[in-house]
Amino acid sequence: MNDKWKPTEEQNTGPISRVSEFFIDELNELQEELDCPDEFIYDFMEAIRNRCSPDSCHAQARKLKRENPDY
């Protein structure tokens, strides 16, 4: 079974939209503060994305914690 999770419309227009706007604002502020090129911000976001990869140690730890709440 390969059902991919999808947010509801309410989630899209609420917390997802809010967090997206927050991230963009913070990244714009960071870029302005560092006076760095777009490429740095892009690579920075890729590093964050990799942290959320299903194969990352962080994702594995979250999965283990969900499956074993007493662990």
Degrees (nearest 5) of the Cα angle 27, 23, 56? Answer: 100
Q: Which of 23, 41, 16 is nearest to 31 (CA)?
A: 41
- Label residue 67 by pLDDT band (50, 70, 90): confident
Residue 63 has pLDDT above 90, yes or no: no
This model's pTM is above 0.85: no
Chain segment 15-41, per-residue pLDDT in tens: 999 999 999 999 999 999 999 999 999
DSSP state of 69: T
Chain segment 46-57, per-residue pLDDT in tens: 999 988 777 777
- Higher-scoring residue by pLDDT: 7, 59: 7
